[in-house]
Amino acid sequence: MTNLDLHASLVRGRQAVEAYIVECRDQLGEYTWDEENATDRLIHAVYPAARYIPFKRNQEGGTPTSSGTGADWLWWWLSPTGECFGMLVQAKNLKRIGKRWAVDLEYAKRKQIIDLLNASDLLEVPAVYALYCGDPAYRPDLTCGEGHTSDTLDRCHRSGVCALPALIASQLATFSALDPPGQAAIEAYQNAIPLEDLADTSLGTPVVHDLNLRHIDGKLLEFLTQPQATARGIAKKIFEMVSRMRSGQFALAVSEHRRVDENAFVFANLPTDRGHFGVPYFDHVLRGLRRQPPDYLVAMAGGDDPPAWLSRLVAGIALFDVV
């Protein structure tokens, strides 16, 4: 398996989701589709570049002892060296309501997004939304921002399935009351990255202009300022998105750092800067970057059933080989 294979598989996954959405439009006479079915189409189409382990169906709404997260899958991007990057992924549809766009970021008065972030804390990975944005014909008036063009290579043509860090989504939801109706959904679309771009090595990895760079040195500084590949490249692309939003916040950078287990995590000394996110965003994203897969993943690879606590949090695990 090469990154070229993984990228092509993710393209195939996005096309399968778009085809499903067009099927729904043709059968129902309108653009309406189910997030879980879209996720199934995505995961099945990406196989064998992604291996998937579905769990017994959990209750998104929760149980008497658990509120539930609404999260669909725990994704792990695996490098040949053993390093890996994990994400807790929840599916969301980009909806058109009348003449405006919407994404249910404030579902149940933000309880779902809070539960998602809490679950990501338990799993020690970042929370990420998979946005299902329909085929290009669904959103002819929606553009990816100032750099949008009519060219077929424009990002909008790759945006049927996008990834959006939950920290960004939470910020957009927080300030949505101050914006015109539908603006949060437009900004969610514009701030997201096409899922297939995560594995597209021809795009390289972005330069990170983080406000905390002057307080960083060593391997972390090298990670942020130098090109990265494999699982580190995926992690850097997710981090850069959050860091870019942080650069527009009116909160001062901080010099304090927090140490974590250097035997488990790739970066053990991270800035505690929260910006307006409410949590230290370095830790939130980069805790997902591990030196080796977590014990439960190793045990499941050996044939064990998923632990009960894990199956209560997610519907399954998807494993992506990144080389």
pLDDT tens-digit profile of 88-108? 999 999 999 988 999 987 654
pLDDT tens-digit profile of 105-157? 765 456 788 889 999 999 999 999 999 999 999 999 898 877 777 777 788 99
Total domains in the chain come to: 1
- pTM equals 0.91
pLDDT tens-digit profile of 258-307? 766 778 899 988 999 998 899 999 999 999 999 999 999 999 988 899 99
Name the pLDDT band for 253 (thresholds 50, 70, 90): low
Secondary structure string (H, E, C) spanning the chain: CCHHHHHHHHHHHHHHHHHHHHHHHHHHCCCCCCHHHHHHHHHHHHCCCEEEEECCCCCCCCECCECCCCCCEEEEEECCCCCEEEEEEEEEECEEECCEEECCCCCCCCHHHHHHHHHHHHHCCCEEEEEECCCHHHCCCCCCCCCCCCCCCCHHHHCCEEEEEHHHHHHHHHCHHHCCCCHHHHHHHHHCEEHHHHHCHHHCCCCCCCCCHHHCCHHHHHHHHCCCCHHHHHHHHHHHHHHHHHCCCCCCCCCCEEECCCCCECCCEEECCCCCCCCCHHHHHHCCEECCCCHHHHHHHCCCCCCHHHHCCCCEEEEEECC
Name the pLDDT band for 4 (thresholds 50, 70, 90): low
Of the two residues 248 and 252, the one the predictor is more confident about is: 248
- Position 63 scores a pLDDT of 41
The parent domain of residue 192 ranges over 3-321
pLDDT tens-digit profile of 164-214? 999 999 999 887 766 787 899 999 999 999 999 999 999 999 989 999 998
